Chain A
Amino acid sequence: MTGTPSGGDVRLSGISRVYGDFTAVHPLDLTVPEGSFFALLGASGCGKTTTLRMIAGLEEPSTGTVHLGDQDVTRLPAYKRPVNTVFQSYALFPHLDVFENVAFGLRRRGVRSVKRQVGEMLDLVQLGEHARRKPHQLSGGQQQRVAVARALINHPRVLLLDEPLGALDLKLRRRMQLELKRIQTEVGITFIHVTHDQEEAMAMADTVAVMNAGRVEQLGAPADLYENPATTFVANFLGTSNLIEAEVVSAATDEILVRAGGDTLGVPAERCPVPAAAGTRLLVGVRPEKAALTHADETDRIPDGRNRVTGVVTEASFLGVSTQYLVNSPAGLGLAVYAQNVDRDPRLAPGAEVVLHWSRAHTFALDAAQDIDAGTETLGTADVSGTVAGTPVKEDAG
């Protein structure tokens, strides 16, 4: 249905954006390979939408260049770039019907007979019989598909998606994620997707760039980011992490031993990003679903060689599939454990003395010189759009 895109990666070199004395995006180098599904993930005001708008040509970078393949498009206005955008809340033209919305880009480029192309595109997004509706007569999901069709019909080299699913309810959002992924695979165009929803980013993208305060914190495949977070922000923003402050006792070539609140824990040496020697301070982490709880009476049943932390259950929430426990221990407060509800131990109620244990291989370490809570509080407020500290941020959310 759409032609194969003519070659080229999206290459950002030293690109930045400054508003007055507020730096929305710090100088940034980024290459998005052709044909990939790339996600820019971060909380409100982290610079991800600004980055997207610089690629679209709607925002002029303060420094740096944007290349599409070999072409430098930095100075090219939006209407001359072979790039199209699916806007946040869609920005469908309210005075035009669905057909004319989709035909808009073709007509502006002087294409004469648009009927067949628009028809095919509307069929692709299953809106054929709604061609003569006005946008306000469509449901949220239908509007979203019009927005995608309106952009895709131009065969852009890159499709930019700015929180395209933000206005949809949870169920529809999950369905549209699959739908967008299907379309991307079908047309093979590079998709760059901006979102604050980490599950959405992981579910759809081949590569995710986690942004925070105008910088890319870490970039990689979703699983890689999740398993090997490089910063506390990524560890906390992407899912949940238990982070424990610890001090190195001994550092061997394969394993580092640390002490945290009276317990000794082992960390694989290759998962420690900083040079470790006795006395070095580290943050030791484990994902809640990789940890298990055993009642203090049965500690002998825990296999040898696992990391152990003793503590007291403070909260147990039954969620059907799993039970989430919070444990206070000398090593750290509020450590989380997600246990599958296979064999629930009824004694694991608030007040119970327990041992929290996990495989040493699942332990990662982070530089202790960072905020241990970075990325946690943003989870609850990720949906709130707004401005940052009185500075007009030209982003609507994200």
Chain B
Amino acid sequence: MALLAWIRRRLVVVFGLLTLAYLLLPNVVVTVFSFNDPVGRFNYSWHAFSTDAWSDPCGVSGLCGSLALSLQLALWATLAATVLGTLIAFALARHRFRGRGAVNSLIFLPMAMPEVVMAASLLTLFLNTGARLGFWTVLIAHITFCLSFVVTAVKARVMSMDPRLEQAAQDLYAGPAQTFLRVTLPIAWPGIAAGALLAFALSFDDFIITNFTAGSTVTFPMYVWGSAQRGTPVQINVVGTAMFLVAVLVVVVSMAVGNGRRRMQEMTRKQA
């Protein structure tokens, strides 16, 4: 009875942790199977322990090339979407103008649409205009769907910024350009960084829109898709695990650094 009562009081926690397990289970499987030595072409059932794939991640043809291509695409798409999106976000957050509602809708619609619809419409455009499918069409598609997300992230940050900060800068002899460089931009920076990070992640992991617009170009998700039909090399799991570990490490380290700095500041504050 006591145990039942204990669980009942923590029902939310128990269910929450079960959900968390559901979310993380595939990552565990991906990691474990990166050490598999599968029988046959598919890496779906456990056979024997092996570190072969880890010692030779580029051992299957095309994999590392597709990875490099995905990184390159994501970088360019992030850069372009961040610049274009930040400009729009500033216009929306800082200015009143005619047609603001229409602009807002145009930003919202791409996010409210299933990817496959955007992918199909872009493909019809490319087909009708006779564009050759490849790196450039994929890049265009990626910039297009990343744009709205950057706008949303940056706009939220700029909107929450106290307009008096910019007025204070003007009051302290900063002209429009100086005000933007010294005050607006630094304060909006976390929003821009968040938008860029989101754009990078979206672009790097995109499959559906890429599948429609890539032609014979193979990005990393396209490579994984193809291997799901032909046979999945263990190296895919190695890449997946490595990305996971690197990302978690970066997050943990940056948080630890942040915590450390805060603690240092608190200590100096107490001494003062």
- Which residues from chain A sit less than 8 Å from chain B, CB to CB? 56-58, 77-80, 83-85, 87-89, 91-95, 104-105, 108-109, 129-130, 133, 137, 150-151, 154, 396
Contact = CB atoms under 8 A, between A and B. Distances in A.
B251 to A, nearest CB: 22
B172 A91 contact: no
A137 B165 CA distance: 18
B187 A95 contact: yes
Contacts of A129: 272
B174 A79 contact: yes
A91 B170 contact: no
Contact of B186 (A77, A95, A151): A95
A93 B178 contact: no
A92 B269 CA distance: 19
30 contacts: A56-B171, A57-B170, A58-B170, A77-B175, A79-B174, A79-B178, A84-B172, A85-B168, A87-B164, A89-B162, A91-B162, A91-B164, A91-B167, A93-B165, A93-B183, A93-B187, A94-B187, A95-B186, A95-B187, A104-B182, A108-B172, A108-B173, A108-B174, A109-B173, A129-B272, A133-B269, A137-B265, A154-B172, A154-B173, A396-B164
Contacts of A137: 265, 269
B167 A104 contact: no
A80 B164 CA distance: 17
Given A87-B171, A108-B182, 11 more contacts: A57-B171, A58-B170, A78-B170, A79-B169, A79-B170, A79-B174, A79-B179, A80-B173, A88-B164, A129-B272, A150-B172
Contacts of A84: 171-172
Contact of B172 (A77, A88, A105): A105
Contacts, number: 72
B173 A91 contact: no
A83 B265 CA distance: 35
Contacts of B183: 93
Contacts of A77: 170, 175
Which residue, of B167, B175, B183, B269, has the highest number of chain A Cβ atoms within 10 A? B167
Interface residues of B, number: 21
Given A91-B164, A94-B187, A58 B171 contact: yes
A57 B265 CA distance: 38
B171 A85 contact: yes
A92 B172 CA distance: 12
A91 B186 contact: no
Interface of B: 162, 164-165, 167-175, 178-179, 182-183, 186-187, 265, 269, 272
Contacts of B187: 93-95
B165 A78 contact: no
Given A105-B173, A137-B265, A91 B168 contact: yes
Contacts of A79: 169-175, 178-179
Contacts of A94: 165, 187
A78 B272 contact: no
Contacts of A88: 164
A267 B126 CA distance: 91
A324 B38 CA distance: 92
* A89, A91, A151 pick with most chain B CB within 10 angstroms: A91
Nearest to B262: A137
A108 B168 CA distance: 12
Contacts of A57: 170-171
B76 to A, nearest CB: 29
Nearest to B185: A95
A91 B182 CA distance: 14
B168 A93 contact: yes
Contacts of B165: 91, 93-94
A58 B170 CA distance: 8
Contacts of A108: 172-174, 178, 182
| Max count, chain A CB within 10 A of own CB: residue among B172, B178, B182 | B172
B165 to A, nearest CB: 5
Nearest to A110: B173
Contacts of B269: 133, 137
A108 B187 CA distance: 18
A63 B170 CA distance: 22
A254 B8 CA distance: 87
A58 B166 CA distance: 10
Contacts of B179: 79
Contacts of A109: 173
Nearest to A147: B168
A104 B174 contact: yes
Contacts of B171: 56-58, 78-79, 83-85, 87, 151
A164 to B, nearest CB: 13
Contacts of B178: 79, 108
B222 to A, nearest CB: 41
